[in-house]
């Protein structure tokens, strides 16, 4: 079986305003922020309102994310998390099927 290398992947997407509002409400809920701070070595976490779609490995994007977001991954002040699938379902977001969110450690 041969592997097919993707040279360019378009990770752009747009969310319906109502779905975006519902998702942001879930991502900023006190209970979810508390879960995040328990997993990260920080006292507080703040949602930056930055979402992106994970992308497959390409030579241009070897970390599975758009290149413009890689500094957040490498910074100790930020954390990149997968948006829980149940949040996507509750917000009625079915395309894209996966999203990541960036949080700032406070």
User: Average pLDDT, whole number, for the chain?
Assistant: 88
* 66-93 pLDDT tens trace: 889 999 999 999 999 999 999 999 999 9
Q: Kind and range of the H or E element at 38?
A: helix 30-39
4 pLDDT higher than 70: no
Q: Would you state the pLDDT for residue 76?
A: 93
- In the block, tokens 């917000």 appear at 91
pTM: 0.84
Helix and strand numbers (H, E) in the chain are 4, 3
43 pLDDT higher than 70: yes
Q: How far, in Å, CA of 38 to CA of 42, rounded? A: 8
Provide, for the chain, the percentages of residues in helix, strand and coil under a 3-state DSSP scheme, each rounded to the nearest 5. Answer: 35, 20, 50
What spatial distance separates the first Cα and last Cα of the chain, rounded to whole Å? 47
Q: Kind and range of the H or E element at 78?
A: strand 78-82
Mean pLDDT, residues 19-26 taken together: 96
Q: How confident is the model at residue 65 (pLDDT cuts 50, 70, 90)?
A: confident
Q: Where are the beta strands (DSSP E) in 3-71?
A: 45-52
Q: Would you state the pLDDT for residue 67?
A: 87
């Amino acid at each position: 079986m041969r592997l097919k290398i993707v040279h360019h992947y378009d990770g752009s997407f747009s969310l319906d305003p109502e779905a975006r509002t519902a998702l942001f409400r879930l991502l900023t809920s006190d209970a979810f922020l508390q879960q995040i701070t328990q997993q990260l070595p920080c006292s507080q976490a703040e949602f930056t309102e930055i979402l992106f779609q994970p992308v497959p490995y390409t030579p241009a994007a070897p970390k599975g994310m758009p290149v413009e977001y890689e500094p957040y991954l490498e910074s100790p002040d930020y954390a990149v998390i997968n948006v829980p699938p149940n949040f996507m379902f509750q917000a009625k977001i079915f395309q894209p099927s996966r999203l990541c969110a960036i949080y700032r450690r406070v």
